[in-house]
Amino acid sequence: MAESSKSPSHQPIRKRESIEEPLTFGCESSSPLSEGQFQCSICLDVFTDPVSTPCGHNFCKSCLTQHWNSTQHCHCPLCKEKFTKRPELKINTTLIELVEHFKKKCVLDKTEVLCGVCTGEKLKAFKSCLNCAATFCKTHLDPHCTVSLYKEHKLIDPVENLEDYICQKHERPLELFCRDDQTCVCQFCTEGDHKNHNTVNVLKILQRRTLFSMHTEMQPMIQDRIKKIEEIKRSLELRKRNTEKEISDSVEVFTALMRSIERSQAELLEVMEEKQKAAERQAEEFIKDLEQEITELKRRDTELEQLSHTEDHLHLLQIYLSMSRRPLINNWTDISIDPPLRLEPLRNALSQLQKSLNEKKTETELKRMRQYAVDVTLDPDTASPYLILSEEGKQVRFGDTKQNLPDNPERINPASCVLGKEGFSSGRFYYEVQVNRKTDWDLGVARESINRKGMIKLSPQNGFWTVWLRNGNEYEACAGPGVPLSLRENLQKVGVFVDYEEGLVSFYDVEARSHIYSFTGQSFTEKLYPYFSPGPHFGGKDAVPLTILPVIKTE
């Protein structure tokens, strides 16, 4: 082709520090890729269910399947590499994500380009040809797919400013990149103004950048998935350990239950056997006495029968006077064998068994919960000015006077409360508090957004899950309304257990190994903090502090 008389007007690309910087070619916006990098070379459309060949090229799954079904030998349609065995096609999920990302960034937002060849109503353009310097719809593009002369032409996504992709001096595609001048040039430019310059094929640059971009985008995806796999494995391992622990605890509980049942059964059978033997001995004695009386009565009856036939009236009179005396016999009307064994011993045994079972169950629960023990320390920034905290942050008591402390947003004022330093937004945690020798206290957990100024009303609706003691022996769960708690004895140590995901807050009597109360079915959406209130000291009568106890984790 003869050179045009038009003045040189190469379209320079902005200066870059490195050739590896993304080059926006064929697409507006910030994407460094054009639709061509996401096109199937068979259907010339954006990938649908993309699959990769062993040689590294990508195609639509249906296009590649149809191509292989129509040929005798299995080879790559692009590089012609032959495969001895037909590869198994699997969807390239990463490439699908990139295609969708590209569509959102570039394809979906670009201005619709119309065919430059259509007469009358113009159809939507499908491709632009750099060699023909024209844009075609699918119908007018057909010769580029069927005629050999046009198959070598450079096709790109349809663009309105096609002149930006064509050398204005030589009217040839800008398919080379001059590294010396940092601009795109055509083949004829390398024989003139850019002769002996360092040039490289734009397609190779784009391919390299495409691979680099895909690699850059894939790495976070890969790392995210590796991290997720590790997270799932850790979760599964933790669940496995917890399940094994719960199975072991359950076996221990049921073993103890069976032993207790066997022991109670043996004791009950022993009592029943003793009762039966006593009844048998009593029956034998009654029968012996009755048989003796029967013998005596029969003897008298015989004598009377004989006297009825005698004619010796003097002898008859003597015998009659002798027989008229009442025989020495017992009154058997109200005499009976002891009644059958009643169920009182059985009920007593079952009651004792239930008590033993509950204690064993709670002991097992506490043992399991201690594996979630946390080191709770009181937060002085949240403490009411009326409270005195120990130096190590493990004790809190009511002070004699109000302290002069800054009223920062975290501080609870004037209510006599304090929170733990560390909050929890997931998982499980457990801690124990010594409460003996006190007449008033509050314990539990509180959410981060509780009202910290003014009066406080303890209830789940207000962000508190607590139990309290009032007047030395009145225990209550602050469930809004309160639930009175009936305890066999005053609490010495209280255990507090929280399962964030299950929405569970439970309280335990550590000394008696018994359950106190549980808030269940709660919905936690923010951090929970251990909550403490030692109550007023009533003129020194309740000056004993609440003490956070060290808990040894169980494995």
Q: What is the pLDDT of residues 372-398, one digit of tens each?
A: 999 999 999 999 999 999 999 999 999
Domain ranges of the chain: 35-108, 127-204, 222-324, 373-549
For 75-84, how does the pLDDT look when each residue is reduced to its tens digit (9 = 90+)? 888 888 888 8
Please give the C-alpha separations between residue 483 and each of 186, 436, 467, 478, 519, in angstroms, as whole numbers: 87, 21, 9, 7, 11
Backbone angles phi, psi at 236, to 5 degrees: -65, -40
Average pLDDT, the chain: 81
pLDDT at 347 > cutoff 90: no
- Is the confidence at residue 9, as pLDDT, over 60? no
Quote the CA–CA distance of 441 and 542 in Å, as a whole number: 10
pLDDT computed for residue 433 by the predictor: 97
The predicted structure's pLDDT at residue 272: 80
Does residue 28 register a pLDDT over 50? no
CA separation, residue 372 to residues 365, 389, 394, 396, 534 (Å): 12, 25, 19, 23, 25
Tell me which H or E stretch contains 462. Answer: none
Percent share of the chain, pLDDT over 90:
29
Q: Is the pLDDT of residue 541 over 70?
A: yes
The whole-model pTM stands at 0.45
Q: 530: helix, coil or strand?
A: strand
Mean pLDDT of 318-329: 63
- The answer to whether residue 470 scores a pLDDT higher than 90 is yes
1, 170 Cβ separation under 8 angstroms:
yes
Half-sphere exposure of 462 (CA within 13 A, CB side): 13
Q: List, for residues 106-132, the tens digit of each pLDDT value.
A: 554 556 789 989 988 889 999 988 888
In the chain, pLDDT over 70 holds for what percent of residues? Answer: 79
Q: Is 331 helix (H, G, I), strand (E, B) or coil?
A: coil
CB 438 within 8 A of CB 542: yes
CATH of 373-549, one of 3.20.20.240, 2.60.40.10, 2.60.120.920, 3.40.190.80: 2.60.120.920
pLDDT at 355 over 70: no
Predicted pLDDT at 83? 87
Three-class DSSP labels, 166-204? ECCCCCCECCEEECCCCEEECCHHHHCCCCCCCEEEHHH
**Tokens linked to 539:** 């003129």
Question: How far apart, in whole angstroms, are the C-alpha atoms of residue 176 and residue 185?
Answer: 5
- The strand order across the sheet containing 418-419 reads 418-419, 528-533, 441-447, 464-470, 474-477, 483-485
What confidence score (pLDDT) does residue 280 get? 87
Contacts of 377 (CB under 8 A, 6+ apart): 392, 393, 394, 420, 421, 422, 548
pLDDT at 432 (0 to 100): 96
CATH topology of domain 35-108: Herpes Virus-1 (3.30.40)
pLDDT of residue 358 exceeding 70: no
Q: What is the pLDDT of residue 441?
A: 96
For the domain spanning 127-204, the CATH number is 3.30.160.60
Higher pLDDT, 330 or 114: 114
Q: Is pLDDT above 80 for 447?
A: yes
Report the 10 Å Cβ neighbour count for 328: 8
Question: Which three-class secondary structure state does DSSP give residue 332?
Answer: coil
Q: What's residue 291's pLDDT?
A: 87
Question: Coil, strand, or helix at residue 64?
Answer: helix
Q: How crowded is residue 393: how many other Cβ atoms within 10 Å of its Cβ?
A: 17
Sign of the CA dihedral with 461 first, then 466, 469, and 475 last: positive
Q: Which of the residue ranges 14-23, 193-202, 390-399, 513-522 would you say has the lowest mean pLDDT? A: 14-23
